[in-house]
Structure 1
Amino acid sequence: MASHSLPIAVIGAGPVGLAAAAHLIERGETPVIFEAGASVGANMRDWSHVRMFSPWEFTVDKATVRLLESHGWQMPPKDQLPTGGDMVDLYLQPFAALPEISRHLHLNARVTAVSRRHVDKMKDAGRENAPFVLHITYADGRESFFEARGVIDASGTWQHPNPMGANGLPAVGEKRYANRIAYGIPDVLGSEYERYANKRVMVVGSGHSALNALLALTELVAAHPQTQVLWAMRGDNLRRVYGGGTDDALPARGQLGTRMKKAVESGVVKIVSPFRIRELMETSAGLSVIGDTDTGARNVEVDEIIVATGARPQFEMLRELRLDLDPSLESTRQLAPMIDPNVHSCGTVPPHGEAELRQPEKDFYIVGMKSYGRAPTFLLATGYEQVRSVVAALTGDWESARDVQLCLPETGVCSSGVGESGSCCTTGNAQPGILALDNIPVNSINDQAIQSQSIQGQTFPVALDTNSQCCHDR
């Protein structure tokens, strides 16, 4: 079979992966989607209890909506704030059920390796004309190869959380005591209620996922006063963590920080900071967390740990492909300067597309959360624009691929300057002062005051998924 007649493979059936499929269909291409989970949006199911800060209007992809509406789908009220579960049940699942998608969607199908037909990583001759070969492992143990003319990796990072060790490595004992550790955003007030009630719980991290868990635990304390909540952070800049309070240009963000500050000042949440964890050890009193402080080592006794320190990409399945990754962020080198959190502490990530995501391996692209590597500034709207541009390039429409745009509503918070307003419709040549996202939307924790259209560090109301932790690709 000629390579040009083959379909394009999409790895991951989250919002960004399915958006890629929608754009491919609109351009007359056949997408084949491989999802490791048992359903679309499998990763979002892990935080189905979390309510996003942005309404439906800003959490859906235009091409996906067009295909859904052609089958009679109606969007939920645009101003409502969906939970992760709502996104799957009311948006992704209906899309997956469409005949254009369902016949090309493979669930419980994990892509374990990607290469080229008859060509390994070292061989040059004929490489660009050889079709991609994906090795698929199914949940029932079956294996198969699948050939494609292009590959879009939207597999996300959710399944690869950062460990709690301050040096980026697992703390000594972290794997051994895994049954006492949860990563991401456990459903503290729901399915995990009994696990944490009346326990000593340490939350590690300072992003939205950590704040989400901490505020949920404060509600648990109200019902179960013996519950103890400890908050461990590597740094000690609480002003940055709390945000601007009543002076914050984003009221919901300010209210979130205000609630967190009150919880600390009231003694409900006790801070352990700076605390650089290096070892876990079981004792008669529970689990001893050993870390370094500015004045020496310290031990903290706990029963349970919630690690909310973000996630990182996994590249093992891509070892036979030629990638050019930034040595620090693990994004593409072209994208890294635009998203580096060491530089972009307040946001300023311009729109970007195919050109910034291009790899030495022709017709292979990493998109969505995984495209940002370890940077915590990803936005779902950005992912949608990425796949629009990438699909345009894969189908030969280079003019459209280069015309990168990110259109956002007039919110009054489009630029980095407080109080500035206007439209956030910008092109790839512009330098808008927008965004900085802790990768996970904050749970409303039943507090209507916090349910507004914002995300920590973001300068406009578009929600997603994860040190992030927030709306993931898969």
Structure 2
Amino acid sequence: MEKNALPVVVIGAGPQGLAAAAHLAERNVPTVVLEAGDGPAAAVAEWGHVRLFSGWPELIDAAGARVLAGTGWTAPATGYPTGAQWISGYLAPLAATLGDRIRYGARVVGVSRLGRDRLVDAGRGEQPFTVHVRPAEGEEYRLQARAVIDASGTWSTPNPAGADGLPALGETATADLLSYRIPDFRDRAGFEGKHTVVIGSGHSAITAVLALARMARRDPHTTVTWALRRATAGNAFGGGDADELPARGALGATAKEYVDAGLVSLVTGFRVERVTREGERPVLIAEDGRTLTADRVVVLTGFRPDLSFLSELRLELDPTLQAPVRIAAEVDPNVHSCGSVAATGAADLAQPEPDFYLVGAKSYGRAPTFLALTGYEQVRSVVAELAGDHEAARRVELALPDTGVCGGAGLFDASGASLGGSCCAVPSQVLQIGRAPASV
């Protein structure tokens, strides 16, 4: 088959994958969306109980809305939905409209070029992609594609509790005592009257801390410890009133109130080296010898991209973030976190492997600053480029909201409130930004 007659394969039927499919549908480009889960936005469904800090207007892609316009669908206009409401109010209707373009239970296990492994130069760009798929039932198969958009996200690969980026000693053996997702705190019996340790400094960690603190306010036998790796708590509480997403700014401000009120014990400089157990209770041991014994441990230390199934492609990724090199400096929390990062498009996301793009949260690698709006702009630009509309691909159609957070990540081992150099007026609280679900 002629390469240009082949479909564009989109990996993942989450928010950005569905948006990509909507843009491709508008341009009449044949499309196959491969989703490992059994329904649309399967990863979002796993945190469906969590409320987003982005309002409805920031959660709906323009092409998705246009595709839905003829179905009688009405866009929710106000409020902050939970993940489940995002699915029911927008993502599931969009997936239903896209219909058989989406294949569920289809896990991508490899992407390469037809007849070419990673080493072969000759004719590489002229060969179609081969996408190897492991279905939920039946035998593995492969598809040919003219282009591949990887919108698979990072949800399946959470970071470990270990402070050096690897699982702490004993962490794997005690995994049954640890949770790497924001728990559904409607299951109050699992937490009330118990001691829970939350590890992490981003919005997901803050969301968990707030829910637990509310339980502690009702029940004095419920205790909460918030363990931060950094030596100072200065980066833990957000941009406050300076954040242009008010619900995001309120998260950190409320967390500070609960810490000040004694509902949450804040422990800084706690870098987990080992996890052991006392019966059914996990024990965290820090590099400096301090210990925390808990009934429950919730590890919310961010996510990382799964690059294993892309090993036969030629990718140019930043060595620190594992993000496309052209956007890495914009999103690296070691460099800065002031205001909003720039919108990114096809030119920023292009790889040495022509017509392959990482989009969505995966395009940010390990950086914790991704917003749904960013991904929607990415896929708009990428699809325009693939359709030959280079002018539209170059155009920027997005202004991102400021975080109200300034001055970078600060000095990791600083004992004071070091900000590493200010780029705008310093707010009363500063934050190392967290990622989805609480930062969508």
Q: TM-score of the superposition, structure 1-length normalised?
A: 0.83
- The counterpart of 1:125, out of the listed 122, 127, 130, is 122
Q: Structure 1 residue 244: deviation in Å?
A: 5.5
Query: What secondary structure, in the 3-state scheme, does the structure 2 residue paired with 1:383 have?
Result: helix
Give the SS at the match of 1:44. Answer: helix
Query: Which residue matches 1:356?
Result: 348
Measured in 2, the distance between the counterparts of 1:92 and 1:244 equals 29
For residues 281-307 of structure 1, the C-alpha deviation after alignment (integer angstroms, 9 at most, x for no partner) is 112583221002xxx311111121101
Decide whether the 8 Å contact of 2:238 with 2:252 is kept in 1.
yes
Q: Residue type matched to 1:127 in 2?
A: R
Contact kept in structure 2, 1:14 and 1:472, CA below 8 Å = no
CA contact (8 A) 1:357 1:365 kept: yes
Which residue does 1:85 correspond to in 2?
84
Comparing 203-212 with 395-404, which one deviates more in the overlay?
395-404
In the alignment, structure 1 residue 41 sits paired with structure 2 residue 36: no
Would you say 1:278 and 2:273 are equivalent positions? yes
2:168 counterpart letter in structure 1: A
Q: Deviations over 1:346-387 (max 9, x none)?
A: 244112201110000011000000000011111111111101
Q: Indicate yes or no: 2:323 matched with 1:323.
A: no
CA distance in 1, matches of 2:243, 2:329: 27
Structure 2: gaps spanning 5 or more residues: 407-422, 425-429
**Matching residue of 1:32:** 32
The corresponding residue for 1:468 is 435
Question: Which residue type is aligned with residue 327 of structure 1?
Answer: P
Matched, 1:396 2:388: yes
Q: Secondary structure at the match of 1:268?
A: coil
CA distance in 2, matches of 1:87, 1:416: 27
Structure 1 position 74 matched with structure 2 position 74 = yes
What amino acid maps onto 1:154 in structure 2?
A
For 1:407 and 1:262, locate their aligned partners in 2 and report how far apart those are by CA, in whole Å: 31
SS in 1 for 2:306: coil
- 1:437 counterpart residue number: none
Code of the aligned partner of 2:74: Q
Shift of the 249–23 alpha-carbon distance from structure 1 to 2, 3 Å rule, reads closer
- 1:430-455 CA deviation, whole Å, 9 max, x = no partner? xxx99xxxxxxxxxxxxxxxxxxxx9
Between 275-284 and 322-331, the greater mean CA deviation after superposition: 275-284
1:405 aligned to which of 397, 408, 411: 397
Using the TM superposition, give the Cα deviation of residue 195 of structure 1 relative to its aligned residue in structure 2, in angstroms: 2.2
**In the alignment, is the contact (CA less than 8 A) between 1:17 and 1:154 conserved in 2?**
yes
How much identity, in percent, do the aligned residues show? 46
Match of 1:371 in 2: 363
Distance in 1 between the 2:359 and 2:170 partners? 34
- Superposition RMSD in Å: 2.4
Distance in 1 separating the partners of 2:11 and 2:289: 44
* Structure 1: runs of 5+ lacking an equivalent: 418-432, 435-454, 459-466
Using the TM superposition, give the Cα deviation of residue 80 of structure 1 relative to its aligned residue in structure 2, in angstroms.
Answer: 2.0
1:51 is matched with 51
CA distance in 2: counterparts of 1:312 and 1:176, whole angstroms: 21
Aligned to 2:2: 2
Relative to the length of structure 2, the TM-score reads 0.89
For residues 293-349 of structure 1, the C-alpha deviation after alignment (integer angstroms, 9 at most, x for no partner) is: xxx311111121101111000101001111111100101111111211111222441
Decide whether aligned partners of structure 1 residues 230 and 355 sit closer, same or farther in structure 2, where only a CA change above 3 A counts. same
Deviation at 1:272, TM superposition (A): 1.9
Q: Which of residues 214, 221, 244 in structure 2 aligns to 1:219?
A: 214
Q: Is the CA contact 1:110–1:136 (under 8 Å) kept in the aligned structure 2?
A: yes
Matches of 1:74 and 1:8 in 2, distance apart? 29
Following superposition, the deviation at residue 394 of structure 1 comes to 0.8
1:171 to 150, 168, 187: 168
Alignment of 1:418-437 (within 5 A): none
Distance in 2 between the 1:414 and 1:219 partners? 25
Output the CA distance in 1 between the equivalents of 2:377 and 2:244: 26
